Structure 1
């Protein structure tokens, strides 16, 4: 066992589920580097939270689909912390429209971020994560519930689910776990955007637990599979309160 803290990289770590994951890993004793793409102020605020909690934080700006930018970000993490133990790819986008009318430019955009971006981060993680570490990608429960208007988003996340067990096998012999977490409807800005209250209430009521998930619910699952649950590997874990 090392005397130094474990180090996590969280993409999309400045907002929503990614920020909750950052907080949870910080509480577990990790130093955390977040990779963000747009909101520098939120990224800086998240780093302050890490540091107030007594750990070391780092914010790095990069488009996750830009392989050279992601490589540079990971190199900066290695320079600062001397290595990486856990990689969480929570960054993603979710344009909604029926398949028949979806703008193909939006399709290209979501494929670039959610598929190419996940692949770029996973590939970099394969080179960077120390033996005994963990990689977590994000899917969605919509790959099971098949809701209208989510065709492009669900297709990209199905691709992520296909990637996970293959990478787990390719990293055999290094004691690195690779899993996906597939949240159900979760109370984030991304979820609430464009939805009237009636729709929010209806979606929450469809869950056997009678509520939306919280970012902290999802962060708890991530903390488990990056910590004590070493025998879970190559899986997609549906964290949705029993929705599907």
Structure 2
């Protein structure tokens, strides 16, 4: 059985050719599954939209790459942003107004796009590395939506989808954002409401850590509430459909 560092090296050497194959959605290094059960073997995990019985030789994923086993897994990756027509905004999972602000709650831009308003999750309250000012951290696809965003765009908590209104529920404005092959992030300033560096249902944020295979994890989202999981793969490269912001 190959060690993780060797599997990652093989994965990185082959990921571009694998990602070009039709139906492939991502490549990672992770546990290999057999008959639906996780094994201790670490493999190059190739994620696909759907497994096919008949695959042309040129598109076939080999059982081994440079002596490392592969594992083909059905999985797709898409941004989780909820949108609704202005006249159709109704109760969603957690549309609560939070004072103080904290991670795991509804957030969204005041601006609409194509007649739709959008909502997502405020991930955490963080500190700017340069100014040390408190900031709201979320995703590009939550706070920016598309390439029509601008610095200073107002953010509402709860979002307009979740019965928030502008300007009465504005809690800050967009300051920076990035959407690259490595980052889907955005930060906004905080104004008009108190804040606490904690996450709903989880507790205080103590710092950051690097995910490792087998690590137990949890997250709190506006739509999914509190969910739990285990890290099955690392060093993941994915193809994510961002539409006009791609």
More strand by share: 2
Higher gyration radius (CA): 2
After TM superposition, the score normalised by the length of structure 2 is 0.26
Give TM-score scaled by structure 1 length.
0.26
Per residue, is there more helix in 1 or in 2?
Answer: 1
